[in-house]
Chain A
Amino acid sequence: MSSFKNFKKSALILALATTLAACGDNDSNEPDQVVAPTPAPTATSYEFNVTVSNLTAGQPFSPVAVIAHHEGTLWQIGSPSSVALETMAEGGDNSQLLTFENGIANASSEGPVGPGANTTITITTDTLEVLKLSLATMMVNTNDGFTGLSAVDVSTLAVGESIMRTTVAYDAGTEANTEAAGTLPGPVDGGEGFNEARDDVDFVARHPGVVTNEDGLSSSVLSPEHKFDNPLAKVVITRTQ
């Protein structure tokens, strides 16, 4: 029970000792003495592996954004999307979202994650206290559908410990779900991604699902295999350091 506390304490003492040693070096006029005291960077560095599996039949995920933060959320049900979220949800470009104002660290998967595939993203922070992880990715064969996790508390995870979560589908509410040719950036269409117009409800909500051309929306370029149901992804967060 107290071993964790003790570990923290000793880490702190170690850090202090290093600082004191460093001060000593500065005060003394013997530069030769800088026999680099083995740095203890692991004591203040926390690392998480985030593995995301795409559980959909036919909705590739855009590059997955992972953001570490203490407060705030990337989206809020009932509130308008930020432009950064809109940009990701309409076009799959997560570059703005990664610079979330409350973020203290961020990482992105190298590329999109296809149906049935998975990817592991590593994120490193220098703090653990009240640490949250959020992640977001677009279902690219939709107008503005996305999935992700909002502010998952990872501050109590021990090294080697994992938590598993599944994600649900959200609609950014910034683009009408026309499913029309030219409006979907995914491989089914290769259409437009982000545009600044907001011709939908302008609030984030749970996604109602896609209709497809076989189900009464004749102008849809989507087929039954693009339909999805919750959950969309399986996410395993493992603290590795």
Chain B
Amino acid sequence: MKASTLTIATLLAAASQSTMAAELDLKITNLTQGIHFTPVLITAHDSEDKLFEVATEASTALQTMAEGGNIAELVAQATAAGSDMAANPAEGLLAPTVSAMATLTTSDGNEYLSVAAMLLPTNDGFVGLDSWKIPTEAGTYTVFLNAYDAGTEQNNELVVEGSGAPGTPGIPAAPGGNAGTGGAGLTSTDSNINIHIHPGNLGDDDLTAGNSDLSNTVHRWLNPVAKLTVTVK
């Protein structure tokens, strides 16, 4: 009984404050050992204008980000939707264990946070957060983010220069090094074309041949891959 009245009270409080703007300090940390993030996009938006939704097909804008790290289309989409955003807070790649900071003032009605950035080296992997409700109470909150597969490109694990464009198979770059060449290409029958949890890089132990150009001791990860710290002022 106590709990239910508390829930109602919380709901009422939330309802009365739901249109209020918020001042946020954001910090995103790459928790992986050997995976780089391409420019990170953080948006505050209403319940509709999310960057992506799991178990649905990726938009072309999301695909463009996930396959090549280009957030321009997502930024354009978010701008058109009236979202508030922090685009590219790291001013480039976010290396393993490094953090990037941003401040964000949200407009009325933009009550949710979403995050997206490509994972390198992967074919169409990205770190993501879909519609995390921004608390109305001041304080510091921690959210852990998972690695997703956009479902738009087969994970052949071949590093191919210029493969960042949507529809061009391959991993555009391996900024951390340790990637090889000459792989035959992993053949995958992954038929899940919706956004899903990334099954992980496989890699192999032969950097001049084998199936994958990735290293099986360097380019793997387990979830979560990022930490987002949100301070509501």
A→B interface (CB under 8 Å) = 1-5, 53-58, 114-118, 155-158, 161, 212, 214-215, 223-232, 234
Given A58-B190, A116-B55, does the pair A224, B202 have CB atoms closer than 8 Å? yes
Complex: how many Å from CA A225 to CA B9? 46
Residue in contact with A225 in the complex, picked from B11, B190, B197, CB distance below 8 Å: B190
Extra contacts, 9 of them, besides A1-B9, A229-B222 (Cβ < 8 A), are A57-B190, A58-B189, A116-B192, A158-B11, A212-B202, A224-B190, A225-B191, A227-B199, A230-B146
Contact A58 B200 (CB under 8 A): no
List the A side residues contacting B232 at CB < 8 Å. none
CA distance A155 to B5 in the complex (A): 12
Residues on B facing A (Cβ under 8 Å): 1, 3-9, 11-12, 54-55, 146-147, 149, 151, 155, 186, 188-194, 196-200, 202, 204, 211, 216, 222-223
B189 contacts which chain A residues (CB < 8 A)? 58, 223, 225
* Residues on A with beta carbons closer than 8 Å to the beta carbon of B6: 156
- Closest Cβ of chain B to A79, distance in Å, is 25
List the B side residues contacting A223 at CB < 8 Å.
188-189
9 residue pairs of the A-B complex, CB under 8 angstroms, read A1-B12, A55-B55, A55-B197, A56-B192, A57-B196, A57-B198, A223-B189, A224-B190, A231-B223
**Of A3, A5, A58, A156, which is within 8 A of B199 by CB?**
A58
Q: Assess the A156–B4 pair: CB atoms within 8 A.
A: yes
Give the most central of B6, B9, B194, B211: most A CB within 10 Å: B194
B149: chain A residues at CB < 8 Å are 57
Contact of A56 among B146, B196, B222 (CB under 8 A): B196
Asked if B186 contacts A214 (CB within 8 A), the reply is yes
Report yes or no: B197 in contact with A232, Cβ–Cβ below 8 A. yes
* Chain A, interface SS category: loop
Report if A56-B197 is in contact (Cβ < 8 Å); known contacts: A4-B5, A158-B11, A224-B188.
yes
Cross-interface CB contact of A117 among B4, B55, B200, cutoff 8 Å: B55
A53 and B9 within 8 A (CB): no
B194:A224 contact, CB within 8 angstroms? no
Chain A: minimal CB distance from B205 (Å):
9
Which residue of chain B lies nearest to A210 when distances are taken between CB atoms in the complex?
B199
Task: Select the residue from B1, B54, B198, B216 with max chain A CB neighbours within 10 A.
Answer: B54
CA distance A231 to B155 in the complex (A): 20
- Is B55 a contact partner of A228 (Cβ separation < 8 A)? no
Task: Please give the distance in Å from A240's CB to the nearest CB on chain B.
Answer: 17
Residues of B within 8 A of A157 (CB): 7
Residues B197 and A1 in contact, CB atoms below 8 Å apart: no
Give the residues in chain A near B196, CB-CB below 8 Å: 54-57, 115-116
CA distance A167 to B190 in the complex (A): 21
C-alpha spacing A232/B216, complex, angstroms: 23
Are B197 and A231 in contact (CB-based, < 8 A)? yes
Q: How many angstroms from the CA of A204 to the CA of B190 in the assembled complex?
A: 29
Report the Cα distance A56→B11, complex, angstroms. 33
Residues of B within 8 A of A58 (CB): 189-192, 199
- Contacts A53-B54, A156-B4: A227 and B197 contacting too (C-beta < 8 A)? no
| CA–CA, A61 and B186, complex, Å | 25
Query: Distance (Å) between the CB of A62 and the closest chain B CB?
Result: 17
Report the nearest B residue to A118, measured CB to CB.
B55
Enumerate chain A residues within 8 angstroms of B186, measured Cβ to Cβ.
Answer: 214, 224
Q: How far is the CB of B52 from chain A (nearest CB, A)?
A: 12
Q: Is the CB of A225 within 8 A of B55?
A: no
Q: Beyond A56-B196, A115-B196, A229-B199, is A1–B188 a contact (Cβ under 8 Å)?
A: no
Complex partner residue of B55 from A4, A54, A161, A215, CB under 8 angstroms? A54
